[in-house]
Amino acid sequence: MSNESNQDLVVGLDAGGTRIRAVLASAATGRTLGEAAAGPGNALTVPLSQLTDHLAEAIGRAVPERDRDRVVAVVGGFAGAASGPPAAGSSDEGSADPSELSGPPDLPGFSDRDPGRLNALAALAEAQRRLGVAPRTVGVSSDIEAAFASAPGTPADGLALVAGTGAAATRISGRRCTVSVDGDGWLLGDEGSGFWIGRGAVRAALRMADGRGDPTTLARSVGLALGLPADLLEGAEGVEGVYEAHETDGVDGSYKAWLDGYGATHTDTLSQSVTIPAGCKASLTFYLHIDTAETTTSTAYDKLTVTAGSTTLATYSNLNKATGYTQKTFDLSSFAGTTVTLKFNGVEDSSLQTSFVLDDTALTTS
């Protein structure tokens, strides 16, 4: 059996409008050895400095420092980057110099001047320099071509329909985009995309707010997402207080509180002071559901800490993700005869959402 610790490694990148995902694999076997994610990677809309930081974060997390000198190829599909078949004797493989890139036959040199492609190459080169990664091959394509390349059987020709942050339909010939429909960006197109759906929700909420539209539960969801006080949302359809504002099934209906879940640096806190009578037994119970987009199985990037006063009762993270709700119970009898603040504190890092959803929280005394 071959020793993978001595084999060449390759890095694949999926750089979309919402996040960048990096995968480290063995060049010989294709076996995945590591993966990580970071912030947005659209080569046209993300500022070059931020694009560089996000690429460095994703690659740095996926590739351990001890293995970086064994990376022989880094290839990425970038939203906002045009691509075309390389001219004979010239390609982006083996070089990160944009001057060596060629475009589609009917648009000679187009790729040399495409701003998205140039941004992707420049950011990728700087990210690799920071990390000490010096691959022999560097490749940049559109994110749609990268998505099509992952299809079962690795076909060379076909159709690709992408509906993520943006949206587009393309014809692929020889593993290159030859015809595209939409993909025109958030301002002019991308119909059916995540952004398009989100913008529609905000518009519906605004139409309700100024009397042009019918009542909608979207009003309260949009308002809470924007951090509006709960009293301003009274009267919006479906609102029953701050934590009844979302439409996700709980243990026996809609849940009581949703902390974090933004996919960005964020802290949510839920707290209440309670007085526990002297001489009695007391327990705190609640149901917890954890959903996450994190893929790691070893690092706690997002955390929920449960405390009673200065005492930490439990800490949960993206590593505790699970389907459904799990009941948690803690003995608070030691706090009898005192007033104590019970607190749920959710802290999320810069990328990849983790949602901590609470239901049926209760303090029982006997």
pLDDT of 19 reads 92
Chain segment 1-46, per-residue pLDDT in tens: 345 667 899 999 999 888 999 999 999 999 999 999 999 999 988 9
Q: Which residue has the higher pLDDT, 133 or 6?
A: 133
Which tokens go with 167?
A: 């949206």
Kindly report the CATH number that applies to the domain delimited by 4-153.
3.30.420.40
Return phi, psi of residue 217, to 5°. -65, -15
Compute the average pLDDT of residues 40-54: 94
Return phi, psi of residue 80, to 5°. 85, 0
pLDDT winner (highest mean) among 64-73, 141-150, 174-183: 64-73
* Whole-number Cα distances in Å, 9 to 48, 54, 57, 64, 328: 26, 21, 18, 11, 43
What is the Cα–Cα distance from 71 to 75, expressed in whole angstroms? Answer: 11
Q: Which residue has the higher pLDDT, 228 or 94?
A: 228
What is the Cα–Cα distance from 34 to 16, expressed in whole angstroms? Answer: 19
The strand order across the sheet containing 257-260 reads: 257-260, 354-365, 282-292, 326-331
pTM, rounded to two decimals: 0.53
What is the Cα–Cα distance from 247 to 217, expressed in whole angstroms? Answer: 9
Class of domain 248-366: mainly beta
Domain boundaries, the chain: 4-153, 193-247, 248-366
pLDDT of 187 reads 82
- Could you list the beta-strand ranges (E) of the chain: 9-15, 20-26, 32-38, 71-78, 137-142, 158-163, 167-173, 176-182, 257-260, 266-276, 282-292, 303-308, 311-317, 326-331, 338-348, 354-365
The sign one gets for the Cα dihedral 334, 339, 341, 342 is positive
What is the Cα–Cα distance from 101 to 200, expressed in whole angstroms? Answer: 39
Compute the average pLDDT of residues 241-265: 58
Chain segment 72-114, per-residue pLDDT in tens: 999 999 988 876 433 333 344 433 343 333 334 344 444 557 7
